Amino acid sequence: MTVRPILIAGDPRLTTPAVPVTVFDDELAAFVADLFETNTAAAGAGLAANQIGDPRAVFVYDLTDSGTRYRGHVVNPVLRTSGLPETMPHPEDDLEGCLSVPEEWFPTGRADRAEVTGVDMTGAPVTVTGTGYLARCLQHETDHLAGTLYLERLLGRNRRAARRMIKDRRWTVPGNSWLPGAADRAAGAQ
Q: What are φ and ψ of residue 144, in 5° steps?
A: -55, -50
144 among annotated binding-site residues = yes
What b/e readout covers 139-168, taking b as 16+ CB neighbours within 10 angstroms? bbbbbbbbeebbbebbeeebeeebeebbee
- Cα(49)–Cα(57) distance, rounded to whole angstroms? 7
137 among annotated binding-site residues = no
Strand residue runs (E) in the chain: 6-7, 46-48, 58-65, 68-81, 95-98, 101-107, 113-119, 125-131, 177-178
90 among annotated binding-site residues = no
Q: Which residues are catalytic?
A: 141
The neighbour count for residue 86, using CB atoms within 10 Å, is: 6
* Contact in structure between 109 and 153 (CB atoms under 8 Å): yes
**Positions at the binding site:** 98, 140, 144
**Positions at the binding site for Fe cation:** 98, 140, 144
